[in-house]
Structure 1
Amino acid sequence: MQMMFKSKKLVLSLVTSLALVSTSLVAKDIYATVNGENITKDEIAVVLRNPQVDFDTLPKNTQDMVINQLVEKKLLTDKAIASGIEKNAGFTAALEKIKKDLALEIWMQEEFKKISVTDAQMKAYYTLNESKFQTDEKLNARHIVVETEKEAKDIIKTLKSAKNVEEKFIELAKKLSTGPMAKNGGSLGEFSPKQMVPEFSQAAMALKKGEYSKTPVKTQFGYHVIYLESKVPSKKLSFDDVKLKIKQVLVQEEFRTAIKKVVAKLKENAKIDIK
């Protein structure tokens, strides 16, 4: 089934071409002509392969390169057709395969359009999967990492007698930390506990705002002293926040189920001989 869902570049190219034919053109969408055939904005978009790129804002030399690429393609295509290549046996065989692949692709698209899910289905999915719809807890912390446990304990001892713990922590981080964040006073910025090694995350999550670790935290990188600047707890996302995502999940599931049923029925009536 995975192969059935895998879109082939050639098939997608043909689907795109069909879409281009059905698109009504205006003068501003035509960038050149080759023997009377238009080079359109949609064709350029296919070459760029990035919907975020606006062709009109590209440098002039880049625009010329893209248009020239399409000009050459049209000229070579015309030459290929004029050569009688369409009568070539290889061309005919390839065209038949493309037609079958394209038929499957278009049929799949049409079947997918038939799938719909109700609000009741989406709300039921939300209720059953509430634990999935949570934002990650966010921490904002600094750390000092050193090579030995004794160094870390000495830093903690110094912090205990500090009048302003945060200022002293930043000072010690810049002076003693071996980590890449030393120059920033050990600042790690905001991060999810999932982004850090477990030992570090567990120790950081156990702290309250303005607290520092009272014992060294050992990880594969050395011994850490952690200072927690702030903590944003995990938040439950509302149904409206995730409704679109749920719809996409359910439509995909319904589509896969529908296709499996079709395949099962076809297999019942098919003569299949696997060598």
Structure 2
Amino acid sequence: MNKVTMLLSALLLTGSIASAKTLVTVNGKAITQQDVDTELMNATQGRFNQVPADRQAAFRQQVLQQLIGKELIYNDAKKSGIINSKEYKSEYKKLEQRMKKELAIQVWQKKLLDSIKISNKELKDYYNKNKEEFNEKESVHARHILVKAEDEAKKIIAQLKSLSGEKLKEKFIELAKKESTGPSGPKGGDLGYFSKGQMVPAFNDKVFSMKKGEVTLKPVKTQFGYHVIYVEDKKPSMTRSFDEVKAFIEQRLKMEKFKAVMKKKMDALQKKAAIK
């Protein structure tokens, strides 16, 4: 993503979700939701919306902790007298000049972006011509317990097969944390959602033949060992509706138009400029 796209993506997001809500205060200094959102956009190059939904909350918390850390260091720097040093003042002047230029560019670009409008017809035309883009494959949310020996897997199944509903899920998570040798063990064996073909064949075939809330009654053997599988949820294949993706399409088309307008303006400005 080039700098212009990154910049405008950030402006789009912060303009729509930014909030002055105070999350924490550090020695009297407020850190707001807007501060966190802006930092998230910088960290993801304007692509925070592409971060998996189940990871967004943890990512936000991580960024908040980083902002708290920065504020603590800044407070200590002030106490040490750094902001009165010649080095600090010299670097501050340089930064101030760069920031003036960057801010002027940002405001200019945002004004240009805000002037671009996308009609409802354009949105619907894009949706109808690109429906395959919004297809979602059948997916499964599964957990598994991985062990080395078949007998170990059978003993685990024996503890689960008489259970159902929440009791089955709770017991499965407990056993996964205790018995699983796989990397997902500490998370209760959670593999998240995945579609067909993402797992090894034997695992894939079994898990997609199961129903929601079921556990395997026989161990599933793969090259990794023996698996006990629990299906937490299933989602059928589907095409997301126009209303669901309308905002996404609008942002995409707006950015495409913006790039075209920017290129035209840059060409015109370069022709007029004295570049040697």
TM-score w.r.t. the length of structure 2 is: 0.51
Any stretches of 5+ residues in structure 2 without a counterpart? 12-28, 39-67
**Whole-Å Cα distance in 2 between the matches of residues 243 and 137 of structure 1?**
22
2:220 alignment partner in structure 1:
216
Number of matched residues? 204
1:239 pairs, out of 217, 239, 242, with: 242
**Secondary structure of 1:49's match?**
helix
Change in 2 beyond 3 A, CA 1:215/1:167: closer
- The superposition leaves residues 210-229 of structure 1 with CA deviations (integer Å, 9 ceiling, x where unpaired) of 47376724154x22133446
Contact 1:140 1:229 in 2 (8 A): yes
Contact 2:215 2:228 in 1 (8 A): no
Pairing of 1:31-110 with structure 2 (within 5 A): 49-50=35-36, 91=93, 97-110=98-111
Change in 2 beyond 3 A, CA 1:206/1:100: same
1:263 alignment partner in structure 2:
266
**Whole-Å Cα distance in 2 between the matches of residues 253 and 234 of structure 1?**
29
Q: How far is the alpha carbon of 1:167 from its aligned partner?
A: 1.8
2:154 alignment partner in structure 1:
155
Contact 1:45 1:51 in 2 (8 A): no
Pairing of 1:55-204 with structure 2 (within 5 A): 91=93, 97-135=98-136, 137-148=138-149, 150-151=150-151, 155=154, 166-167=161-162, 174=175, 178-179=179-180, 188=189, 191-193=192-194, 198-199=199-200, 200-204=203-207
Alignment RMSD, CA only?
5.3
- The superposition leaves residues 102-160 of structure 1 with CA deviations (integer Å, 9 ceiling, x where unpaired) of 33222111111111111111112212332332456443545342214x447x839x97x
Q: How far is the alpha carbon of 1:254 from its aligned partner?
A: 1.2
Question: How many percent identity over aligned positions?
Answer: 25
Change in 2 beyond 3 A, CA 1:130/1:99: same
Change in 2 beyond 3 A, CA 1:253/1:202: farther
Change in 2 beyond 3 A, CA 1:244/1:47: closer
Q: Report the structure number with the largest CA radius of gyration.
A: 1
TM-score w.r.t. the length of structure 1 is: 0.51
- The superposition leaves residues 24-76 of structure 1 with CA deviations (integer Å, 9 ceiling, x where unpaired) of xxxxxxxxxxxxxxxxxxx9567982479xxxxxxxxx9xx99xx7xx9xxxx
**Whole-Å Cα distance in 2 between the matches of residues 143 and 94 of structure 1?**
52
2:2 alignment partner in structure 1:
2
Change in 2 beyond 3 A, CA 1:166/1:133: farther
Instruction: Give 1:131's aligned amino acid.
Output: E
Change in 2 beyond 3 A, CA 1:219/1:134: farther
**Whole-Å Cα distance in 2 between the matches of residues 47 and 207 of structure 1?**
42
Q: How far is the alpha carbon of 1:259 from its aligned partner?
A: 0.8
Change in 2 beyond 3 A, CA 1:241/1:262: same
Change in 2 beyond 3 A, CA 1:272/1:236: same
Any stretches of 5+ residues in structure 1 without a counterpart? 13-42, 53-61
2:252 alignment partner in structure 1:
249
Change in 2 beyond 3 A, CA 1:110/1:216: same
Instruction: Give 1:166's aligned amino acid.
Output: K
**Whole-Å Cα distance in 2 between the matches of residues 235 and 120 of structure 1?**
23
Change in 2 beyond 3 A, CA 1:94/1:228: closer
**Whole-Å Cα distance in 2 between the matches of residues 115 and 208 of structure 1?**
48
